[in-house]
A = this chain, B = another copy of it.
């Protein structure tokens, strides 16, 4: 087997481009298993190691994910999630051509620790409503978030959210016409067992942890929340300037 041609484009790159084209035009659907490395090698008439080089390049860009002993799978394209002052999950997901969904997992009461008290401008130990929700794009879970609101300012918030299933609508129910993001902090962690189940994510996968506080137009804090995004399904875009 000689195969030279010398086009100036490495063989592995040609294979990678071919597979990427297949993903782009839907020949390989998101989540689907690619043909085995051996099979790909045969269709491109190339050594298996060359295929591995191609797959490694695609994996580095997050387009595919190899699972030892099982196969190589097409990663769902990451949802572009711009972080702006005006951040609405439903608008962002809708703008990406997906249907935004929200689902209440749990709601209950809590008391403010030092951090939450500072964010919401309350005293430590102040009564809170805690809402656990999962947000989806179409049928794919994107993030789970724990939201805290002042129980005095928003009485019965839990049952209201269960009804409207949208934070924007919940706040509107209490007379808040508009709000915006005051602060956003991003870190990353390994998903814990309960979030893994809620996100339908295997254990050991990374999540993006976002702590954010929303305020009304007079900069009075409304809600603070901690969201855990499945890192492999979302991509934050930070506006420059």
Contact = CB atoms under 8 A, between A and B. Distances in A.
Interface of A: 7-10, 12-13, 16, 57
Nearest to A15: B8
Contacts of A7: 13
Contacts of A10: 8-10
A12 B16 CA distance: 20
A57 B6 CA distance: 10
Contacts of A8: 9-10, 12-13, 16, 57
A16 B6 CA distance: 13
Given A8-B9, A8-B12, A9-B9, 8 more contacts: A7-B13, A8-B10, A8-B13, A8-B16, A8-B57, A9-B10, A9-B13, A10-B10
Contacts of A16: 8
A32 B60 CA distance: 43
10 contacts: A7-B13, A8-B9, A8-B10, A8-B12, A8-B13, A8-B16, A8-B57, A9-B9, A9-B13, A10-B10
Contacts of A12: 8
A57 to B, nearest CB: 7
Contacts of A57: 8
Most central of A8, A9, A10, A12 by chain B CB within 10 Å: A8
A13 B8 CA distance: 5
